[in-house]
Amino acid sequence: PRTDGATQSDNGLDIRGLRKHYGTFAAVDDIDLTIPEGSFFALLGPSGCGKTTTLRLVAGLEEPTAGEIRIGGADIAHLRPHQRPVNTVFQSYALFPHMTIFENVAFGLRRRKEKNIDARVGEMLELVEMQHLAKRRPTQLSGGQQQRIAVIRALVNKPKVLLLDEPLGALDLKLRRQLQLELKRIQTEVGITFVHVTHDQEEAMTMADTIAVLNKGRVEQIGAPVDLYENPRTAFVAGFLGQSNLLSVHVTSRDATTVVLDFHGVRLTMPAARLSATGTAVEAGVRPEKISMAELGHAPAGTNTIDGQIIDASFIGVSTQYVVQSLADPEEELTVFSQNSSTELRRVGDRVSVHWHPDHTFGLHEGA
Ligand code: ATP
């Protein structure tokens, strides 16, 4: 029974205290996840962080060292893979080459001697608009088409949870972008819980309702893409999801709404709700695209302002990336992204006041 007050939805996936050790190495190190029914959930992290192992534990392809895996409240951790109400889509499509597309999709249904096979396969082919290719064989399809078939083949018997292990990893960038949107649409239409493993932060942000960022076998942070991006709680999450400037600061005062910070004698403020660390030495961050630049001394009132000098400017088409060295401490540098449409270009050597709205400041969970 749960003690945290959360309610378990009908077919949600609930993981508690999951561990997988190889010898003394913990590939999965005490993971808890609550994945609501019908959500699109991404496991995101760098190579080796344990995301594939987590997925394989849910699929039953690995035996956990410890922990519970529940779907709809029932513990499935010790069921055999085919007894679990889950299916998996792998990066390699693994279609049967000697069968037609229709038979590939029908395969699982035939094996279980199910009824209405024609209608159910037809419905799935329609979902990906591939009815007209039903008689072809896998080698006569493009990579993107084969992966669509692999997805509907895994959905046709209506698993409670679909596991996707880097399913778009073998496709080129343009096709990957297209299939990201398509997978998202399919998930919305069928309403089945998707758990998607990827190391690509843009892919996770595009597709998922909720992302769990994994690092060294542990969950660093869980949240909606915007929450993770706007309010990363660790340096790892801040750095893995985009770029950020992290500043070592001291807390000078705090009340219910605002924290006042000191950065080399410069006063900065941030919302109290965005700083959970309790000590005086903390780390605060701001995304490069949230920062603007003004002539030295001309930053708008009420902003967090740091005076500096541009030491690098890289034109990257839609924007320019500047590196600004703080006048107060030359060891401190800030990266600033400026949209080229909205700002005049500035040059290396220019003295500027960089500024941002206090609300765009985030605080890291652990102290500096
Ligand atoms: P990738 O994106 O590279 O697949 P991942 O996040 O999916 O990375 P896992 O495949 O889950 O990572 O592996 C997690 C860690 O566990 C890695 O360090 C890996 O070397 C290790 N590992 C995985 N399987 C085994 C095994 N059978 N024996 C020993 N170590 C393993």
Tokens of 301: 């009132």
Q: Which atom of ligand 1 is nearest to the CA of 50?
A: 11
Helices (runs of H) and strands (runs of E) counted in the chain: 8, 20
Same domain, 87 and 205: yes
User: Which of 235, 265, 292 is the C-terminal boundary of a domain?
Assistant: 235
The residue to mutate among 51, 195, 218, 219, having the most atoms of ligand 1 within 8 angstroms of its beta carbon, is 51
Whether 42 and 212 have beta carbons less than 8 Å apart is answered as yes
Residue predicted with more confidence, 367 or 45: 45
- Residue 302: domain span: 243-363
| pLDDT above 70 coverage of the chain, percent | 96
Residue 359 has pLDDT above 90, yes or no: yes
Percent helix, strand and coil across the chain, each to the nearest 5? 25, 35, 40
Among protein residues, the one whose CA lies closest to atom 28 of ligand 1: 22
Q: Is residue 197 part of a domain?
A: yes
Same domain, 129 and 262: no
Residue 4 has a pLDDT of 44
**From edge to edge, which strands make up the β-sheet containing 161-165?**
86-89, 161-165, 193-198, 40-44, 210-215, 218-223
Among protein residues, the one whose CA lies closest to atom 27 of ligand 1: 22
Same domain, 66 and 196: yes
Evaluate: CB of 285 within 6 angstroms of ligand 1: no
Ligand 1 centroid, distance to 194 Cα (angstroms): 21
Evaluate: CB of 352 within 6 angstroms of ligand 1: no
Residue 342 has a pLDDT of 60
Least confident of 159-168, 244-253, 299-308, 358-367: 358-367
pLDDT digits (tens, 9 = 90+) for 35-59: 999 999 999 999 999 999 999 999 9
Same domain, 35 and 156: yes
**pLDDT band for position 367 (cuts 50, 70, 90):** low
Going 187 to 193 to 197 to 203, the CA torsion angle's sign is positive
Provide the CATH number for the domain around residue 357. 2.40.50.100
The tally of CA atoms less than 13 A away on the side-chain side of residue 341 is 1
Same domain, 161 and 268: no
Q: For 170-190, what is the mean pLDDT?
A: 93
Whether 334 and 326 have beta carbons less than 8 Å apart is answered as yes
Q: Is residue 151 part of a domain?
A: yes
> Helix 173-190 vs helix 143-155: angle between axes, to the nearest 10 degrees?
20
Tokens of 37: 């029914």
Q: Which residues contact 156 (CB under 8 A, 6 or more apart)?
A: 105, 106, 108, 109, 120, 121, 124
The domain total for the chain is 2
Whether 357 and 300 have beta carbons less than 8 Å apart is answered as no
Q: For 216-226, what is the mean pLDDT?
A: 97
User: Going by DSSP bridges, is the β-strand pair 86-89/245-254 parallel, antiparallel, or unpaired?
Assistant: unpaired
Ligand 1 centroid, distance to 297 Cα (angstroms): 52
- Residue 104's region, left for phi above 0, alpha for psi from -120 to 50, else beta, is alpha
Same domain, 189 and 287: no
Evaluate: CB of 96 within 6 angstroms of ligand 1: no
* Nearest-angstrom CA–CA distance, 242 and 262: 25
Among protein residues, the one whose CA lies closest to atom 18 of ligand 1: 48
Evaluate: CB of 18 within 6 angstroms of ligand 1: no
Same domain, 187 and 311: no
**pLDDT band for position 200 (cuts 50, 70, 90):** very high
Residue 250 has a pLDDT of 96
Residue ranges of E strands in the chain: 13-22, 25-35, 40-44, 66-71, 74-75, 86-89, 161-165, 193-198, 210-215, 218-223, 245-254, 258-263, 266-271, 281-286, 292-295, 304-316, 319-326, 333-339, 351-356, 362-363
Ligand 1 centroid, distance to 87 Cα (angstroms): 20
Length of the chain counted residue by residue: 368
Residue 291 has pLDDT above 80, yes or no: yes
Largest interatomic CA distance in the chain: 77
User: Which of 219, 235, 251 is the C-terminal boundary of a domain?
Assistant: 235
Evaluate: CB of 20 within 6 angstroms of ligand 1: no
Ligand 1 centroid, distance to 23 Cα (angstroms): 13
Evaluate: CB of 257 within 6 angstroms of ligand 1: no
Q: Which atom of ligand 1 is nearest to the CA of 214?
A: 6
Q: For 154-179, what is the mean pLDDT?
A: 93
* Nearest-angstrom CA–CA distance, 294 and 325: 14
Same domain, 173 and 25: yes
Q: For 166-170, what is the mean pLDDT?
A: 90
Same domain, 218 and 266: no
Cα distances from 106 to residues 40, 110, 324, in angstroms, run 25, 6, 60
pLDDT digits (tens, 9 = 90+) for 308-331: 999 999 988 888 999 999 999 999
Same domain, 49 and 147: yes
Same domain, 112 and 26: yes
